[in-house]
Structure 1
Amino acid sequence: MRAVTWHGRHDVRVDSVPDPEIVNPRDCIIKITSTAICGSDLHLYDGYIPGMRAGDILGHENMGEVVEVGPKSTLKKGQRVVVPFTISCGQCFFCSKMQYSACDNSNPAETSDASETLMGHAMGAAFGYAHLTGGYAGGQAEFLRVPFSDVGPIVIPDGLEDDKVLFLSDILPTGWQAAENADIEDGDTVAVWGCGPVGLFAIQSAFKLGAHRVIAIDHYPSRLALAKNMGADILDYREVEVLEALKEMTGGIGPDAVIDCVGMESHGLAIDNLADTAKAHLFLGTERPHALRQAIIACRKGGRVSIPGVYGGFADKFPLGQLMEKGLTVKSGQTHVQKYTKKLLEMIGNEELDTTFMISHRESLERGPEMYRHWHDEQDAYTKIILKPGLEKAASKASAARAVEPV
């Protein structure tokens, strides 16, 4: 089969690789119909996440048609399913508490040992995201093996096209959990750093959960425009001093809750961010947490800090004193996707949530490397990219059919 593979920093290719096979009784194999490039994939593209190996198949936002099932899978051939990026057994201590991204059984010992050394505890497993999280092949490919298929995938009813449900795999529940972790109360003002896909879904979710006002912070005009269309007030951090603007907009109190949807690669020319960038280039540090620092300082006393943005190591100049003295509550973590998929699917089916507004490009799998380059370098024009295996062949067949039609 054909698959998008990682070969080093800024080196992504499409290779021919072996088809996946059933390994365990609870496995299934799906034929990928849609897969997306996630913002956190750019951390892999930039070489910030350790544990990648040449030839690893990328992609953790996946859906498709079941084509093969193990004897203990609860799925049936022909069903359309969305696959959570988190791989969870459904039976361990953490899964029993619906903390699916912390699953204790999905990350094999040979890879979990390394993540335990790095993080203090073994990380949960994920598709297409380094050997620290299990080394599982991703779904930017024609086929995907899905472990624990009786726990993860959610069956999609007829009538809901891929574009409406694909983001149940990651960014929609991630945005929802981000807003939920902010403990939003009716009438709250919520500030969101980063208007990428997760940030936009966090804005949408914050309004759904009762926020009176959402303030969105970014610098890409197209992303700020999408946030504004959703009802958010917007701040371009290149044009305003964010902390002063937030004080003014909240009567000097500060936002009730702040959400960092940026993560480890903050942009900007602030002094702290320039120092972080220099350290990263010299391999003296991994994080550029400027957005998180700013969010903590901006948040009102007694407020809440939600961190869905991805971080991978130790951060310098962390405002611990501000966090403690202001009595802030912090919630973070990878998304417990399976906890939210049923509820969010119902909301999509009832047209309570729009999930298609951010899609900017639909391309063939073969153009995957090109799309990585574009999204990395042109994030104002590329909001969300969906790859569809076979799209190029379908277009070629359609073109050939038109060529032989009688005039």
Structure 2
Amino acid sequence: MKLRRRAGLFAILAAIILAIAYGFMPKPLPVETAEVKRKYMRVAIEEEGRTRIIDRFIISAPVAGFARRIELDAGDPVSKGEAITELEPLRSNVLDPRSRAEAKARVAAAEASLRAVKENVHAAKASAEFAKKELDRLRQLFKDALVAQEKLDEAETETRRTAAALRSSEFAVEVARHKKAAALTALKYSAAREPEEYAERVIIKAPVSGRVLRINHKSEGVVNRGQPLIEIGDPQALEVEADLLSADAVRISPGTPVLFERWGGDKLLKGRVRVVEPAGFTKISALGVEEQRVLVISDIVSPPGMWAELGDGYRVEASFILWENDNVLQIPASALFRYGDGWAVFVFSNERARMRKVQIGYRNGLSAQILSGLAAGDKVITHPDSSIKEGARVRLRKERTL
């Protein structure tokens, strides 16, 4: 009886000790895993881009003038040589009371000057007639040897002088008439009067065939020399510009393939880099950081029917493909961690975490190429934290699929 009692006590004590030991044993850590697979992988630089028309023509006013209303609308087709609008001479100013009084006074002064020079013509004409009669009289006397040659020469000179003075007076009359006409223009061509038909007009024509992209000055009105009036281009001749960080731009060269995504259509568009501009510029990021940016220009090589809806200034997402391969052994980049000078991962094996050094190749934001250290089918622990050690007990939370 006592032996049974002791045995029962020992059993209870052993159970308590085992329960306490089990309670202090480390529990398996929940982890997520991903299978090492061979599949397509690409390394790309992604940046927002914007479409633009390759050849854009901004038509400006060649001279200052009064532009007639442009009847075209954005999107309308135009042909080479087609009249876009007309430039008329600038309108005259409106005369205020003082300006009108001054203009009338200048007209009155011009009329008085005209009357004065007309009287000068009468005086010059009388002098010229008298000199001619005197010359005729002296010539008759010279024939009769009654006057000397000197007197005859003086009479001829005086005749020529008075004739010249008469012609000068007549020219002065013409000048006075023109001055009067000039003074009258200030009253005749006031902006308050009805405009007359302008003889001189500058016709603005389209330099190329295309479509109207933007109208900068649609309504009629005064324009300055060089002021933009309208923009014309071919919407089917598009290119894509994207400003990349200079550190990324040096990895791209003409001919680099590009994929355009999230442009509004259902299909990806293919492109190719045409130009990496040699000069960069400074741009302030959304965080207020100065960045050196470089413009990269790409052509769309997909059939035009796939992107017929795209227009000038549309947003696209451009992926510049630096490297790609259809059969790459890869793991999630989140499974990697630094170990010494290299990289390592934890492999999920028999509910234990086993550390394994790996050699990696290309990486993008999601995946990393495995050159050695793993095989297809292995399962690696993603997002390992400091609590996971070599040989630690782990349990599977869920499996992640690439």
Q: Is the pair's TM-score, using the shorter chain for normalization, greater than 0.5?
A: no
Name the structure where helix makes up a greater proportion of residues. 1
Larger radius of gyration between Structure 1 and Structure 2: 2
| Bigger proportion of residues as strand | 2
| Greater relative contact order structure (CA < 8 Å, 6+ sep) | 2
After TM superposition, the score normalised by the length of structure 1 is: 0.15
Q: TM-score, normalised by structure 2?
A: 0.15
